[in-house]
Amino acid sequence: MCGRVSTSDQKFISKKLQLKYADALIKPGGINLPPTVELPIITDEKPAELQYFYWSLIPFWAKEKPKFSSFNARLENLQEAATWKNLLGKSHCIIITDGFYEWKKLDEKGKLKQSFLIRMKQQQFTLMAGLWDSWTDQSTGEIINSCTIITRSPNEFMQNIHDRMPCLLTEKTAKIWIDRNLPLSERMQVLEAIPDQLMEKALVNKIGDTEEYEQLFKS
């Protein structure tokens, strides 16, 4: 699964990725962001624009916000589950993070855990494949754009930490994932497990501690 991420602020993201964003947009980023906050994304509908979507997908056909967990979508279920299958090929997005947190169980029951911050090497951001949708609240008329992060079985790097991981993208495969001119079969190929050597991790003692966070990966 992927349930906590860190992100940069919108000015830094837009500058590094050369994306447009609304002048009134003020998004400071954060080092410990959970589902139901807004995350920075790029959609296949507006690939040149930085947007912020609610993290936990609300299907357009839902009468209310889902009671089930929708912040992650299992790769194995994408083409069968009603929540995801209608979005394939037409509502892809890239979630832009600085990294994600995962917890390794240290005992059989999982009462003792060690947290890690995990990120991509050799590129500024840790990019994740996702799906998005737009939902209208019939009671208020409010339109909520939302997203989910696609997860898969772990590569060898992640196996020792957790049994799931986000579908990570390089800058090259990210462009393929949101290219509507390409066939879905080609776009789905980028969801294969990322090579181990493109990832790195740092042990975290206290998630959310700014001082510790700034020292991670500085060994």
For the stretch 101-136, pLDDT in tens is 999 988 877 788 999 999 999 899 999 999 999 999
Pairing of strands 51-55, 143-152: parallel
| Domains by residue range for the chain, with CATH | 5-215 (3.90.1680.10)
Per DSSP, the three-state class of 50 is coil
Strand 92-97 with 38-43, pairing: antiparallel
CA angle 61, 187, 67 (to 5 degrees): 30
Rounded to whole angstroms, the Cα distance separating 79 from 82 reads 8
Quote the longest CA-to-CA distance of the chain: 52
Over residues 35-74, the pLDDT tens digits come to 999 999 999 999 999 999 999 999 999 998 888 889 999 9
How many CB atoms are located within 10 Å of the residue 77 CB? 12
- pLDDT for the residue numbered 107: 82
Give the angle 84-96-41 at the CA atoms, nearest 5°: 55
pTM of the predicted structure, to 2 decimals = 0.96
Q: Give per-residue pLDDT as tens, 168-212.
A: 999 999 999 999 999 999 999 999 999 999 999 999 999 999 999
